[in-house]
Amino acid sequence: MSEQVEESLDELRLSLAGTVINPADAEYDAARRCFNALIDRRPAVIARCVVPGDVATALDFARTHDLEVAVRGGGHSPAGHCVCDDGLVIDLSAMRGVHVDNDQGLARADGGATWFDYDSATQLHRLVTPGGVVRSTGVCGLALGGGIGHLTAQHGLTCDNLVGAELVAPDGSVIVATPDENTELLWGLRGGGGNFGVATSLTFRLFPLDRVVGGLLEYRGSVVRDALRRFRDVVAQSPHDLSCQAMLALDESLAPTLAVAPCYTGSDSDPAELRALRSAPGLMSDGVRPQSFLDQQLVFDSPYGENRHYWKGHFVRELPDELIDELLRRIVAFGRPPVHVSIESLHGAAKDADAGLSGIAYRGAAFNVSAMAVWREPNLDEQHIAWARDTAAAIEPWSYSGGGYFNYMQADEPIERVRAAFGDDAFERLQALKKRYDPNNVLRRNQNVPPT
Ligand SMILES: Cc1cc2nc3c(=O)[nH]c(=O)nc-3n(C[C@H](O)[C@H](O)[C@H](O)COP(=O)(O)OP(=O)(O)OC[C@H]3O[C@@H](n4cnc5c(N)ncnc54)[C@H](O)[C@@H]3O)c2cc1C
């Protein structure tokens, strides 16, 4: 850290309602840790904000001292965008309030709220917004990048339900976006990431939800191919009351495994789609049952900051037998657990959403297929990263638009992949917004939409 920055830290401490953490502080290492243990960066200063004014103060400090800025919500970015070397982290992890407006059917999440915070608050009223499947993920980070989860078929992407935002722009001004005010900005926030400002709160539409039928169905060994085909055929019927995700993996004995996570919200006590999944030959374990939505949100969990991650994938037009065989071959050939291929279905409300709602270009895709390498040992970095890249390359011939999923992108994705996630026209609209709200690209540690 430069001497000048060090000398000014006391001043920053005095002007912030929150706390300032620097490398000499005991909590520094915990505060700079990301979900992805592959990322190990040492910022000069972490400004843990507690009110929107703190965000403006921190941005002002970064501008004065010419420091790079990173924004941290839940810390889950696989690319580690929430932390930078030698710069300033705007840490929103202490701003985790969620305010439910039952009458309006809306909930407002503060900038650092997690899905656990959000679901706990909204489920008290038996209400829900479609979000992510791991509860420690940040609401704002996920929503700004799209948002695929257990209720995507029923209610669309998380960003489809974004109806309001309060941002602090890089120049420190506070900007509100609603369906009546700054509507173009609201359009851009639905999938355009953290490019235009730091969201101190986002407001979402709520839906009634009491219980779901969900959990995990697990298949192992030679039956996995047929089970994956059956999963594909079930979701091809586009049931709006059944979201469904699948995860291919390899167990300790190096046999392929498939976990299918249905989330059914309809009224049928024995829906045909679930029956089809449960009756697939070779089902090894059936954990599907009526449960609360909070329990459904525990189906997938993952330890924070322990594993190294590298993810890469494509939205695909279809999931033909040929691609299923290729994915299985690659999982088995790698011969080392745990590597995963995640297959998220985009049927239902995500596909039906009004095209003008956002710039997202992948609505016509059938699935989001992502190679997810997960490992612990630093000496295996190269091998795992190469596996994820090669597997993504093998998926590419079926790619819907050539673009990747904003929320899963690593930092090394070329701008063409970011552009293709929107298409040329929408990307240029996002660039115009960037030029207006962040002309100097202060917020560039993200899936960047450059101003020019
Ligand atoms: C274990 C795991 C599970 C996941 N599950 C899902 C899932 O089910 N569905 C899905 O769609 N995605 C999922 N993701 C991806 C996740 O949505 C994105 O990585 C998202 O960016 C994480 O947000 P965060 O706030 O937790 O992360 P952070 O690393 O804190 O933030 C990532 C970036 O988001 C932006 N950002 C975050 N908060 C704000 C804010 N308040 N204002 C402005 N910009 C902000 C910034 O650019 C920041 O650098 C998952 C990721 C992990 C690691």
pLDDT in tens, 421-446: 999 999 999 999 999 999 999 999 99
- 198 CB less than 6 Å from ligand 1? yes
Give residue 336's pLDDT. 85
Q: Give yes or no for residue 403 having a pLDDT over 90.
A: no
Give residue 444's pLDDT. 97
Give residue 4's pLDDT. 78
How far apart are the CA of 5 and the centre of ligand 1, in A? 29
Give residue 248's pLDDT. 97
CA gap 392, 342 in Å, rounded: 12
Sheet containing strand 45-48, edge to edge, reads 19-21, 45-48, 88-91, 69-72
In Å, how far are 11, 157, 174, 183, 408 from 177, measured between CA atoms?
32, 19, 10, 6, 26
Q: Give yes or no for residue 296 having a pLDDT over 90.
A: yes
**pTM check: above 0.85:** yes
CA gap 423, 431 in Å, rounded: 12
Do the Cβ atoms of 236 and 186 come closer than 8 Å?
no
Among residues 38, 116, 40, 84, which one has the least CA distance to residue 372? 38
CA gap 82, 89 in Å, rounded: 7
Can you tell me the mean pLDDT for 131-137?
A: 96
How far apart are the CA of 285 and the centre of ligand 1, in A? 31
CA gap 266, 239 in Å, rounded: 10
How far apart are the CA of 81 and the centre of ligand 1, in A? 9
Q: How confident is the model at residue 301 (pLDDT cuts 50, 70, 90)?
A: confident
- Measured from the Cβ of residue 330, the count of other Cβ atoms closer than 10 Å reads 18
User: What H or E segment, with its residue span, contains residue 381?
Assistant: helix 381-395
Do the Cβ atoms of 343 and 152 come closer than 8 Å?
no
Q: How confident is the model at residue 383 (pLDDT cuts 50, 70, 90)?
A: very high
User: DSSP string covering 243-305, please?
Assistant: EEEEEEEE-TTS-EEEEEEEEE-SS-SS-HHHHHHHTSTTEEEE--EEEEHHHHTTSS---TT
- Measured from the Cβ of residue 386, the count of other Cβ atoms closer than 10 Å reads 13
- 149 CB less than 6 Å from ligand 1? yes
**Residue linked to tokens 């982290």:** 89
- 188 CB less than 6 Å from ligand 1? no
Can you tell me the mean pLDDT for 398-414?
A: 94
pLDDT in tens, 83-125: 999 999 999 999 999 999 999 999 999 999 999 999 999 999 9
What share of the chain has pLDDT > 70, as a percent? 100
DSSP structure class, residue 183: H
Cis check: omega of the bond before 338, within 30 degrees of 0 = yes
Q: How far apart are the first and last CA of the chain?
A: 31
Do the Cβ atoms of 175 and 182 come closer than 8 Å?
yes
Q: Whose CA is nearest to atom 6 of ligand 1?
A: 132
Q: How confident is the model at residue 452 (pLDDT cuts 50, 70, 90)?
A: confident
Q: Whose CA is nearest to atom 33 of ligand 1?
A: 141
Phi and psi dihedrals of 333, rounded to 5? -65, -30
Q: Which of 34, 36, 38, 137 should be mutated for ligand 1, with most atoms under 8 A from CB?
A: 137
Angle, CA 75 vertex, CA 71 and CA 81 arms, to 5°: 50
How far apart are the CA of 141 and the centre of ligand 1, in A? 4
- 84 CB less than 6 Å from ligand 1? no
